[in-house]
Every structure is written in structure tokens, then in C-alpha cells.
Amino acid sequence: MAYSFPTTPPEDLRIAVEAQCLLHKQTEWRLLTGGRTNISWLVNENSDALVVKLYCRSTLNPLFPNDAFAEASLLHHLSPDGLAPRFVETLQTAHGTCNVYSYIPGQIWLTGTKRVADLMHCLHHTDAPSGLRSTANGSAELTLETYRILSLCTHTKGVADLEPSNVVPKSEKLSLLHNDIVPANLICSNNMLHLIDWQCPSQGDACLDLAVFLSPAMQLIYRGSPLTSQEVSEFLQAYGDPDVVTRYLNLAPHFHWRMAAYCLWQMEQGQSDYEEGLKLEVQALRRAQS
């Protein structure tokens, strides 16, 4: 569920950030919109714009963890490559953990799946830092994860009955994964794409990143409409790794089933906008099995 917090940051939080990051007391703070889990402010310090992200401590998301320290680690690791914002500081405050990092001005991605495929291919061929969590790999682990999500729901029969039957083994090739590549986390700036919101990274099967981006529910929630079949085809062709693409297509029923379970969980948390997403995922699951 979305984290509710005042538009103006608490005074003690502001003082702590200004002291730790050597900011002027007259620095302007402005609430950033778009996040569904944490709260972020844009802080303008002369010509250097920073983001102060305060992490919600009550978030227990079964698919997208909210790990401030994992995000700090990835920003450290990826900043030199331009794949992520430049890391500045981590602070512990009375309100929770904060990360401070550079602000990337630009627009949220809406069109052009080839650019996203190129960025994702680059990410998946970037060395991962040590200490990352592992994510579900292969149909058996995806099945276990989906049932774990369903165990958190009350009315599960309609989704549980859709369990795919095809078996796909684990991948021996592990990649650095963002795990939440949705339009809101793709920023177009100076003819480049950048990834933000790194709070749930992992090392695992590259197909997981493909699945979240291609998910009709995630595209509906963050872009307003699912990708067209042409956009999906252009993405898969541009990704540039036929083995990963073939593996993704074999796993697609499992990914859509998992996302359907996640949409059901979100609906039971009061997020009614996931109802249409659930329907789209069920339709996509059936197409993938046909």
C-alpha cells in the first residue's frame, strides 16, 4: 500500500540530511510524485539536485522487497556506468532509513521498447556486487513463490486453479537484476535511459526482468495501457539473446500466473486499480499456453 507522509519533511529529518550532506538550511525541498511505496523529495542545492528517499518500514511486499541498504549498494556499484543515479549518503533517522542520491531530470519512459531492451541487455551483462539475494529460478521455484503469495490472500480459488503444467529447469546463467523495471523507474534523460528505484535487486535468471517489464498489469498500472503485440515483439527481438528470449517464452505462463497472484494480493490490500491488471494477466496466461 502507498506510504502516507506529509508533503513537508519533518524538521528533524531535514536537519539531519542538511548536516550530513552539508546542505544549506535555505535549500528547497519538493515532494516527488510517482512512487507507490516510499516517499521522496527533490532537494535543490545550487546546481546540484538531490533526491532524499525515506523508506517505509511497514512495507511487506511479497514480490518487490523494499531494502534501502540493497539500493545503496547498487547505486555505489552502478553509478560509474550511468545505469543508476550517483550515490551520496545513507542516514538512519527517527523516521526510518534515508538514501540520498543524485536526481536525474527527464521524462518517464512511455514508448520505444527497443531502448528498454538495449538497457536491459546491458544491465544483464554487468557484473553483480556480492551479497545480493537470489530470486526464483525455473518453473518449480516460481510455483512455490506464487503459492506463497496466494497464501497471503483470502479468495484464491480462481487464480490457484490456473497453475501452469509445463516444466522449465533452473538457469545456470545468473545475471544482475533490477526486478522492478516498470515505466516509472525508467527515466529518459539526454537521449539516454536510466534506471531508478533499486530497492529490490537480486542475482538470478534474466527472464525475471523481462517478465516484469512485459507484464500487462505492470504496464497498465504505470503507463495506462499494456504493451501491444508489436511492442512486445520489437522488445524481444531487440534484447539480443535468443536463448533468454526462448526461455522467457517457455516460462511466460508461470510469470503471468505469479503476477495474477500478486494483483490479487494487491486487491486485497485495497488497491482496486489492480483488478483490471488481474484480468489482463489471466488473459495473457491463456494466450501463452495456447
Q: In this model, does residue 6 exceed pLDDT 80?
A: no
Q: What 8-state DSSP symbol labels residue 60?
A: -
Is pLDDT larger for residue 59 or for residue 175?
A: 175
The residues with which 43 forms a beta bridge, in sequence order, are 29, 50
Q: What is the pLDDT of residue 208?
A: 99
pTM (2 d.p.): 0.94
**Domain 11-102 is classified in which CATH homologous superfamily?**
Phosphorylase Kinase; domain 1 (3.30.200.20)
- What pLDDT score does 58 carry? 63
pLDDT tens profile 41-57: 999 866 689 999 999 86
Work out whether strand 39-45 and strand 48-54 pair parallel, antiparallel, or are unpaired.
antiparallel
The span from the CA of 51 to the CA of 29, in Å, is: 9
Would you tell me the crossing angle of helices 216-223 and 207-214 to the nearest 10 degrees? Answer: 50
pLDDT band at 1 (very low <50, low <70, confident <90, very high): very low
Q: How many helices (H) and strands (E) does the chain have?
A: 10, 10
What architecture is the 107-289 domain classified under in CATH?
A: Alpha-Beta Complex (3.90)
Provide the 10 A C-beta neighbour count for residue 12: 11
Contacts of 62 (CB under 8 A, 6+ apart): 148, 149, 152, 262, 265
262 pLDDT more than 70: yes
Domain extent listing, the chain:
11-102, 107-289
Q: What is the pLDDT of residue 3?
A: 47
Q: Do the Cβ atoms of 211 and 252 come closer than 8 Å? A: yes
Confidence label for 2 from pLDDT (cuts 50, 70 and 90): very low
Contacts with 287 (C-beta within 8 Å, 6 or more apart), sequence order = none
